[in-house]
Amino acid sequence: MKKSTLIIAIVCSLSIFSCKKDDGISCTSCSSSETADFQVCKERDGNASVNGQNTGTPYDTYISGLEQAGASCGN
């Protein structure tokens, strides 16, 4: 009985530690002649955030607007 308990504990530990942490947030750096470099992140809800503040605007729309205003964004 102790052997099976040990095996179960090892399997559970491996499954917990083998999972990759995926927070669903990705960021890109942007620069502009009018501002210092900054990061825009795509949140789990699909909105853009700047300095940790959710803009309430879809990420693609926000990036497109920045680029139309003259900013350059890329990884």
**pLDDT (tens digit per residue) in 37-56:** 999 999 999 999 998 899 99
Give the integer Cα–Cα distance in Å for 69 and 58: 17
For residue 55, being part of any structural domain is answered with yes
d(CA 26, CA 47): 11
What per-residue confidence (pLDDT) applies to 40?
96
Count of domains for the chain: 1
Termini Cα distance of the chain = 53
CA 45/CA 58 separation, integer angstroms:
9
Instruction: Indicate whether 56 belongs to any domain.
Output: yes
Structural domain contains residue 69: yes
Q: What is the pLDDT, as a whole number, of residue 35?
A: 87
C-beta of residue 24 within 8 angstroms of C-beta of residue 44? yes
Residue 12: inside a domain, yes or no?
no
Grade residue 20 by pLDDT with cuts at 50, 70 and 90: very low
Copy the structure tokens of residue 40.
């825009």
16 within some domain: no
Domain that holds residue 72: 24-75
Is the entire prediction scored with pTM above 0.85? no
Helix (H, G, I), strand (E, B) or coil at 40: strand
